[in-house]
A = this chain, B = another copy of it.
């Protein structure tokens, strides 16, 4: 019915109630110093007219932009996407972000930025100038890129670094990578495995190192060696397959593999099949990520569930609630969990 042709502005509300623009503005922003009676009257008019402040205008007048910008790696995102490998990381992140943003009246935008180019600064700078976000969320590997963090710090934009605990500006969020790898490895040792390999992610991701560290520590605690048991992939299927093949041919006594991504675990599963190994009878397999895919493989994979959505949600919350005030030398750790499925079993005798 209320067929809105012309945009309803704060002025309409002011005229409707007979107060000044400023008073309406105060009501909108929950500002102090407004008589309850006036506040109610204005709020009623807002509801009646269906008034919603224009984001653009709010931004213009020097206040917040109500936008949180999430930066993802373009190259990897595109590759995942093109090959339909399951970009579920993006998905989880987006949803965790959108939900939390909307809870606070914010919006989330996703920007794909190329890590490897010299244009990083230009690309990111352009996005920041255009959007003027109130906060930025950096995912790996951008969260470890000094160029980027410096740029953000110089502009005074609060930001969160996910998957990084390198010192420097910005709040840091991690997902308990070392602990998770330790947990997975210990569990395998508990099941009687003595030769437990790791297919790690690329070295430029700190989390790769943390996982290796957790794995090594658990091995040491169980009195096991890590010799010849580490291979590195790039999180993708191809390198995962190569790594698995190398591990399995080099170590005939291998009975368990921990892969640093679902894709690499999938590859290991396939390689095992090719080599005539049964999972989990001959080989136990644990993956990182726990994207939807691993529930439907044969057998379903035991996996470390990375709480990406929750982590991003926490990052958003921090940015909105405390992003404004100064230094943030804080590390938030969101715990990952081990989801046991059918790809793990006691070691063969």
B81 touches A87 (CB 8 A): no
Assuming the A-B contacts A5-B154, A102-B112, are A295 and B84 also in contact, with contact meaning beta carbons closer than 8 angstroms in the complex? yes
B81 touches A95 (CB 8 A): yes
> Nearest chain-B residue to A270 (Cβ)?
B296
Chain A residues 289 to 308 lying within 8 A of chain B, measured CB to CB, are: 290-293, 295-298
- Interface range for A: 35 or more
Shortest beta-carbon distance, A200 to chain B, in Å? 21
A86 touches B293 (CB 8 A): yes
- Mask: chain A, 157-200; 1 = CB below 8 Å from B; 0 = not: 00000000000000000000000000000000000000000000
CA A154 – CA B4 in complex, angstroms? 7
- Mask: chain A, 77-107; 1 = CB below 8 Å from B; 0 = not: 1100100111110111011001100100001
- A65 at the A/B interface (Cβ < 8 Å)? yes
Contact of A129 among B7, B98, B154, B298 (CB under 8 A): B7
Assuming the A-B contacts A60-B60, A77-B95, A94-B110, are A85 and B292 also in contact, with contact meaning beta carbons closer than 8 angstroms in the complex? yes
Chain B residues in 8 Å Cβ range of A60: 54, 56-57, 60
- Mask: chain A, 1-17; 1 = CB below 8 Å from B; 0 = not: 00111011000000000
A86 touches B87 (CB 8 A): no
B57 touches A309 (CB 8 A): no
- A38 at the A/B interface (Cβ < 8 Å)? no
Chain B residues in 8 Å Cβ range of A156: 5
- A243 at the A/B interface (Cβ < 8 Å)? no
Chain B residues in 8 Å Cβ range of A8: 129
B132 touches A56 (CB 8 A): yes
CA A155 – CA B50 in complex, angstroms? 14
- A130 at the A/B interface (Cβ < 8 Å)? yes
- A346 at the A/B interface (Cβ < 8 Å)? no
Chain A residues 20 to 64 lying within 8 A of chain B, measured CB to CB, are: 50-57, 59-60
B291 touches A84 (CB 8 A): yes
Contact of A130 among B52, B90, B298 (CB under 8 A): B52
Shortest beta-carbon distance, A290 to chain B, in Å? 7
Contact of A155 among B4, B90, B297 (CB under 8 A): B4
> Nearest chain-B residue to A102 (Cβ)?
B112
Chain B residues in 8 Å Cβ range of A155: 4-5
CA A285 – CA B65 in complex, angstroms? 50
> Nearest chain-B residue to A52 (Cβ)?
B129
Chain B residues in 8 Å Cβ range of A122: 50
Closest 8 CB pairs of A and B: A298-B298, A86-B292, A52-B129, A56-B59, A56-B56, A52-B126, A91-B91, A55-B130
